[in-house]
Amino acid sequence: MWQLWGIFLVMIIVGLYADVALTKAQYAQDNHRPHVYMVIAWISIAVFFGLLVYLFLGYENTLKFFTGYVLELSLSVDNLFVFMTIFSYFHIANKAQQKALTYGMVGAMVMRMVFVFTGIALLDKFKWLMHVFGIMLITSAVGMFKSEKQRGIMSNLLTKIKTFLKIKHSEDSLAFFTKCENKWYATPLLACVTTIEIVDIIFAVDSVPAVLSVTKIPILVYSSNVFAIVGLRSLYICLTQLINKFHLLQYGIAVNLVFVGTNMIFSEVYRIPTTVNTIAIMSIFLVTLAISCLTMKQRH
């Protein structure tokens, strides 16, 4: 297990270094090629790690890893809609968006580690929390069907952060602070990153319990989370022009959360086989994407 942790950390460190090195100068969104390469690279790395899981932990745990990865990836893609709202609200330039996403990605990796190990420790000590997590996921899924309520919550959060931070615009779009009349003020970029970090904590409340319904092995839970997160920056740039085509994605995610939450609640009565669980979650995700694309074409 420690060998697998070591390989995972090396893969993430090398991958992040390559991600930053290849996309550092590609701030303009009209040059998508480096970002497309990085999205493909991150997916390939996740698949390769899945093969390593097979060698170290066997077929059953490999299925659990890929199930968790697809589940987390669908939740992460849905986050892109929220990022667009945050960038638009604070008027963040394209050049600064990548910096905000990078800080958000690193912060998310740290926070997910805290949530994963805390969640596993709590479930080991209090078995009944599995039912609580299940109810939380179903409640969250119901909220996704009420998009107006979600927009209202997001709007309130953005307003409170803007009020709390004394914001001043800076000539340097990449700066976190700016000085005006001998006083330091937060820039819109700092407010944006702060919002992304807070939002990720909210997202973690859904994503971590969702994977814990699949497996409680720490390396599988955390790696599936991280592999879904690390490619978000490049994925965001690639999908900026296409994101509206996935307008039904949140409903597919909601169905998956209901499915996963129900599994958690009734896990002691009947546990769905891993293979069936994997096929169901992947199918819901892929069918939702397909229907989204088809209905978007019909609109046009």
Tell me: the pLDDT tens digits for 68-78?
898 888 777 76
Confidence of residue 161 (pLDDT cuts 50, 70, 90): confident
Per-residue pLDDT at 28: 47
Please name the residues in contact with 24: beta carbons below 8 A apart, sequence gap of 6 or more: none
In tens, the pLDDT along 248-274 reads 767 777 787 787 778 777 766 777 776
Average pLDDT on 109-118 reads: 86
Map out the domains of the chain as residue ranges: 2-299
Q: Which residues pair with 167 in a beta bridge?
A: 186
Per-residue pLDDT at 146: 64
Q: If you write DSSP's letter for every residue of 71-122 in order, what string do you get?
A: HHHHHHHHHHHHHHHHHHHHT--HHHHHHHHHHHHHHHHHHHHHHHHHHHHH
In tens, the pLDDT along 131-148 reads 777 787 777 777 766 655
The answer to whether 266 and 245 are in contact (CB under 8 A) is no
The answer to whether 63 and 73 are in contact (CB under 8 A) is no
In tens, the pLDDT along 230-252 reads 877 777 777 665 565 666 767 77
The answer to whether 189 and 175 are in contact (CB under 8 A) is yes
